[in-house]
Amino acid sequence: MTRGWGLGVGAWGMNAGTSGEVPTSRSKSPSPEAPTPRPFISVCNLEKSFPQADGRLYVLRRIALDIAQGEFVTIMGPSGAGKSTLLSVLGMLEGDWTGEYRLLEHEVHKLKPKDRVALGKRYVGFVFQQYHLIDDLTVAENLAIPLSYRDVKASEREAAVADTLDRFGIVAKKNLYPSQLSGGQQQLVGVARAIIHRPALLLADEPTGNLHSTQGKEIMELFRELNAAGTTIVQVTHSEENAKYGNRVVQLKDGWIVT
Amino acid sequence: MIDSVLQDLRYALRTLRRTPVFTLIAVLTLATAIGANTVIFSVLNGVVLRPLQYDASDRLFGIWERSEGGDYRLGSYPTFRDWRAQNDVFDALAFIRGSSSLMPGNDGARRVGTAFVSEEFFDVLRGPPLIGRLFSPEESQPGSPRVAVLTYALWHEAFGGDRSAIGSTIRLNDGTYTVVGVLPDWFRFPSWADVYVPLSTILPSDPILAQRGFHADSRIVAKLKPAVSTERAQAALSAIQTRLAAAYPTDNRGWTQVEFVSLYEQELQFGAVRPILILLSAAVATVLLLACANVANMSLVRAATRSRELAMRAALGAGRGRVARLLFTESAVLVLAGGVIGLLLAFWAIGLLRAAAPGGLPRVNEIAIDARMLGFTALICLLVTVAVGVAPAVRPPTADLSVPLKAGSPGAGASGIWLRLRSALVALEVALALVLLIGTGLLVRSLWALSHVDPGFDPKGVITFGVFPPPRYDAAERAVDLYQRVASAIASLPGAGEVALSNHVPLTGAYLPRPIEVPGRSPDPQGDPPVLFRTISVEYFDVMRIPVRKGRAFTATDVALASRMAIINETLAHRFFPGQNPIGKFVTLFKSAQARKDFGERFSVEIIGVVGDVRHTGLEDAPAPEVYIPYTVNPWGYMNVVVRTRGDPQAVLGAIPRAVAAVDRDIPVTGPQRPGPLTQAVSGQLARQRITVTVLSGFAGGALLLAALGIFGVIAYIVTLRTREFGVRAALGATPRDIVRLVIRQTTGVVVVGLVVGFGAALAVTRLMTRLLYDVPATDPLTFASLTVFLAVVALLASYLPARRATRVDPMIALRNE
């Protein structure tokens, strides 16, 4: 993988126009005098469990977590701690949980499943450990998927894909299939796909888990740039190195937040 | 080696037991298809493929007279004698005169079909008797003691299969005959024969045997000399026919040709079963193909979901051959189980079939699962094993067995080749199902058209039965008296309305074509259509609801006085009196009651009326010309009673035997012409089509189900393979509708290809069905279009169900690493 993924973050700032409600300026540490801004994400008493023969198996227990607009939060913990589950709840992929979850002014816990999905489509982008590019689609077609699911017109879609290919420096790869790319290149496309619809919240589950250290570092640099441009990021990782790219770390163990 | 094969077998059994639903569905699918194939091909084998069991059966022919215009007629006895005397091409030539006889027994009299056979008969149709012997040369001479040979069926019915029947006597009408032999169960020619008697027995007394112009109730069969071709034999007989046409112009002018029909063909033609059996065989083979495609598809899915296990085996040292053999063994076990159950089903079904053979199916007794059919079933199983076993057993050459281990995806080891193969199989299934559906649809339309043909009379509420008088009523006057007494007895039954008498009843298979002469019009033996000779009572047209179009019907006086009057139908009026009013005109008829001394005697009648046409010979046949005379003018040797009932016909039906017995207890009311509703005769006309449609509908339904299952299976397979992708798509924002649309789009192409191929194949195949269709073209656009749309809808539904499952894929799956 070559260098040169640098993004023109000024031009690639979080899409205020998408939501209309999201402030465009970052306010990482609001001053005590200023009125306390509403957190971007606020989770309270969140629980997730599965029925078992001898009771219930809790995956998440009484989770309380606020994430401010523009934060870069890292969730860590041993395997089975509930990290990915928490990520999926934040990303509206999970519906079967209890507690309260607010995203900006939206009370997610009160929304119907269909509305939750719609909210997720509006605000969230995902980056997966295994990239999960669609094998039968080219790089450009993979990038277009999220836009097609958001009813973006074909002409606008093409423009956005072209723009993204350019910004990520992968124009030359646009007609290649995932199997023709290296792991790092695939994850680069995965990140590009996750942000092409300009989500306010980027969720990444072990984004460098399948990459060697150099590639991983470059992906993390990319995250840093996106975050600097205004995108709120929540990542799950086992890597202390990667955690350093974030503002704070949330430790999970057996479903509980321990720090 | 044997150890490892046994190990594979044990493992296959265990694996199949662990997936009982798959195993059950696969085994039952195969068992049904193999069983159905075994049954249909057993019928085809017994009825069509197996040669007749007579000696030198390939040299046996039925011979018919043929006119220069291409018409056919049965040969008369004088013509037979000329052929026999003047030919040098046959080893033997035999004549058979058919008649219905009364055979009294302990449980009352029964009607039996009697074949009076010339002395050469058992030389032509040679086969050893089951017990006893055949006729000796002396017994075929006039004045010899009367002897009879029984068919296997009559031996069982009259003697319970007792070997002591040999040497005992039976009575046929007024004669006593000594039983000298019993034939094996396959020997029954003509099909109506129950008992064989030397022709010499009736030679001096039956006037019909002297009539060159009588062309009914006979058969002529011949055995060609070994070195003689049919062409040469036909030429030789045609030469004789030409001489006869010159010598007997009244009867034979224009009839200068002969038609040879191999006895084998003749047996089949009479039942017209060959095209139906071939159609059913093609249909059932199609179902087998579909079943194979389906089980192969299911096995492919299974192999795909087991790719990790198979990769593990490979990683542990199993070579490709060994893995392939394991999968092949599983397929073989499935097919073997299906084959054994299928064979058991076939044994059961053939037993049922023989017990309740559909009407018109010849050689039923020869349908059996013999060594040939066991071999056939074994071959089917072998082919099916290859068909369903090869696909999952053979791995694609580029497949990397380590991939499933790395990726952890159930379908990750599956190749696009196999998905394409599965798609091709589904397209094939759709195509085959469409061909079967359209073929069945055409037959259904044909059956519908046939069931809506107006027979020209109203059979509802009408009961009919035959009265076969014992010999003491041989005199015409006594017969007339008897018929009147029977009619009166029936009329007095509660619920019986009007009662009529008639020599023949439409659609029951009995009719007698006879010549007719119109003064001033020269007869044309070649061009004139045969006229059905009908004798009726006054009430006949009323009872049958046959309308009088012109003139009048008979009066009681006409019948009582045996007035020389006739009523003709519209077809006869049109053919013989085109553009004229036939009322008041005279025609010459010929006495036609067989076994009466005046048989063939000319008499003139005045036409007093014209009635509507009736489809007498068959619903599919155009109405034949008919002439009706009072039954007293030419009293028939037997008579049919036709009763229009009031209320429930069953009540009258039950009372008829007692009423007839009250007139004379020796009159049988059993046998083919026992009391029954006339509607049965009409529906009997549809029996063959109905059975064909029923069986084909079963096959088409099965094909539809298999095709739908195939589509379902492929989509389910795709969903399994792409579970992770659907999860990713959902995580990226795809709605359930997006996912369904994505999945169904994949099927659409396959289904469209199948429909196009099936449509084209149906266009080609249904043309071969033209002979089986009535009043519906083989390319009927409505049938083609509606069934294509129907199958498309079924295909859509079949793909929608698993597609919906795809929408329930948990997007979390995309986040999980394992």
pLDDT in tens, B523-562: 777 777 889 999 999 999 999 999 999 999 999 999 988 8
Contact call for residues B543 and B500 (beta carbons, < 8 A): yes
| Shared-domain flag, residues B134 and B281 | no
Domain for residue B460, yes or no? no
Residue A253 has a pLDDT of 93
| Shared-domain flag, residues B180 and B212 | yes
Domain count of chain B? 4
Q: List the beta bridge partners of residue B101.
A: B112
Q: Residue B735: its chain A contacts at CB < 8 A? A: 117, 149
The beta strand positions in A15-174, using DSSP E, are 41-52, 55-67, 72-76, 98-103, 106-107, 124-127
User: Which of B414, B445, B479 is the last residue before a domain boundary?
Assistant: B414
| Shared-domain flag, residues B287 and B427 | no
Exposed / middle / buried, residue B229 (Cβ in 10 Å: 0-12, 13-18, 19+)? exposed
Domain for residue B630, yes or no? yes
Q: Residue A134: its chain B contacts at CB < 8 A? A: 725, 728-729
CATH number for the region A71-96+122-257 comes to 3.40.50.300
Contact call for residues B515 and B528 (beta carbons, < 8 A): yes
Q: Residue A93: its chain B contacts at CB < 8 A? A: 730-731, 810-812, 815
Secondary structure of B712-752 in HEC code, one letter for each residue: HHHHHHHHHHCHHHHHHHHHCCCCHHHHHHHHHHHHHHHHH
Domain carrying residue B618: 469-667
Residue A120 contacts B where some CB pair is shorter than 8 Å:
yes
State how far residue A200 is from chain B, nearest Cα, in angstroms.
14
| Shared-domain flag, residues B4 and B73 | no
Whole-angstrom Cα distance, residue A106 to residue A116?
A: 10
Smallest CA-to-CA distance from B562 within B587, B584, B591 is with B591
| Shared-domain flag, residues B715 and B817 | yes
| Shared-domain flag, residues B639 and B779 | no
Residue A98 contacts B where some CB pair is shorter than 8 Å:
no
Tokens 């259509």 correspond to: B529
Domain for residue B744, yes or no? yes
Contact call for residues A18 and A198 (beta carbons, < 8 A): yes
Best of A84, A88, A129 to substitute, by most chain B Cβ atoms within 10 angstroms, is A88
Q: List the beta bridge partners of residue B518.
A: none
| Shared-domain flag, residues B205 and B349 | no
Region class of B535: left (phi > 0), else alpha (psi between -120 and 50), else beta: beta
* Contacts of B315 by beta carbon, 8 Å cutoff, 6+ apart: B401, B402, B405
- How many beta-carbon pairs below 8 A join chains A and B? 54
Residue B671 has a pLDDT of 62
Domain for residue B57, yes or no? no
Q: Domain ranges in chain A?
A: 71-96+122-257
Exposed / middle / buried, residue B365 (Cβ in 10 Å: 0-12, 13-18, 19+)? middle
Name which of A84, A149, A197 is nearest B815 (Cβ-Cβ).
Answer: A84
Smallest CA-to-CA distance from B569 within B643, B484, B506 is with B506
Whole-angstrom Cα distance, residue B131 to residue B150?
A: 10
Best of A85, A122, A126, A238 to substitute, by most chain B Cβ atoms within 10 angstroms, is A126
| Shared-domain flag, residues B40 and B80 | no
Smallest CA-to-CA distance from B773 within B266, B279, B71, B265 is with B279
Residue A132 contacts B where some CB pair is shorter than 8 Å:
yes
Residue B183 has a pLDDT of 95
Residue A117 contacts B where some CB pair is shorter than 8 Å:
yes
Exposed / middle / buried, residue A110 (Cβ in 10 Å: 0-12, 13-18, 19+)? exposed
Q: Which amino acid is at B278?
A: I
How many other C-beta atoms can be found within 10 angstroms of the C-beta atom of residue B298?
22
Name which of B734, B812, B817 is nearest A88 (Cβ-Cβ).
Answer: B812
DSSP class of residue B140 equals: G
Domain for residue B267, yes or no? no
Residue A126 CB-half CA count within 13 A: 32
Q: Residue B730: its chain A contacts at CB < 8 A? A: 93
Element holding B123 (H helix, E strand): helix B121-124
Residue A71 contacts B where some CB pair is shorter than 8 Å:
no
Domain for residue B396, yes or no? yes
Whole-angstrom Cα distance, residue B749 to residue B291?
A: 22
Cβ <8 Å between B730 and A93: yes
Mean pLDDT (10-residue bins), chain B, 818 residues:
77 84 85 87 80 86 86 88 94 92 79 92 92 92 92 91 93 90 90 92 85 84 93 93 92 88 70 74 86 81 71 67 81 90 89 70 75 83 79 52 40 55 83 91 90 92 90 89 95 92 90 86 76 95 96 93 94 92 94 81 94 92 94 93 90 89 83 79 79 82 82 76 81 86 85 94 89 88 95 89 81 61
| Shared-domain flag, residues B549 and B660 | yes
Exposed / middle / buried, residue B10 (Cβ in 10 Å: 0-12, 13-18, 19+)? exposed
| Shared-domain flag, residues B214 and B82 | yes
Whole-angstrom Cα distance, residue B49 to residue A214?
A: 77
Mean pLDDT (10-residue bins), chain A, 259 residues:
40 37 39 62 93 85 94 92 90 88 93 87 87 85 88 90 90 91 88 90 88 83 90 92 92 90
Q: List the beta bridge partners of residue A55.
A: A52
**Whether pTM exceeds 0.80:** no
Q: Residue A206: its chain B contacts at CB < 8 A? A: 817
Residue A86 has a pLDDT of 92
Q: Residue B733: its chain A contacts at CB < 8 A? A: 120-121, 146, 149-150, 197
Residues of B at the A interface, defined by Cβ within 8 angstroms:
724-725, 728-735, 738, 810-812, 814-817
State how far residue B411 is from chain A, nearest Cα, in angstroms.
13
| Shared-domain flag, residues B246 and B144 | yes
Name which of B732, B734, B810 is nearest A126 (Cβ-Cβ).
Answer: B732
Token readout for B286 is: 């199609």
| Shared-domain flag, residues B627 and B657 | yes
